[in-house]
Structure 1
Amino acid sequence: MGRKKEKQGSLSEQLNQDVVSQLQVKKAALKQQADKQQELERLKRIEEKQKREANKSFEELLNESDLDWKSFKH
């Protein structure tokens, strides 16, 4: 009877290890997917910012400038 318990114990341990392995693989895949999604969102924000910058009028660009235009008067 002692041998049956050992086999059952090792079988349940093996099943637990398989489940843990599968969960670790799934976790890694989900993390990779989340990282990819974050990168795509970051690239999208950069692209939107570039589009906004490209569509700004001269007046908007002038108002955002840090230069003091009065100091260039003669």
Structure 2
Amino acid sequence: MAETVDDYGFVVYPPASPGLPWLSVCFGPDGAVLDAEAFGSFEEADLVTQRAREVLQDSFLQRKLPPAGAAIH
């Protein structure tokens, strides 16, 4: 599962081998890992990843943008 919000990537990776955890990872627009967290199940990892994506998306929707054509100094 991979989703993006304004070029930020949210991915849940399955365990690389038995006994390892599921990983929830957030990538910045430049590909840098911004956050990673280990979970015991896909459901836990997916839930946290979805919540993080929603929080970021909400913050982008609430940011105040200048009017069209306005110069930013």
| TM-score bucket of the superposed structures, by smaller chain | 0.3 to 0.5
Larger Rg: 1
Higher percent of residues as strand:
2
Relative CO higher for 1 or 2, CA cutoff 8 Å, sep ≥ 6?
2
Higher percent of residues as helix:
1
Q: TM-score, normalised by structure 1?
A: 0.35
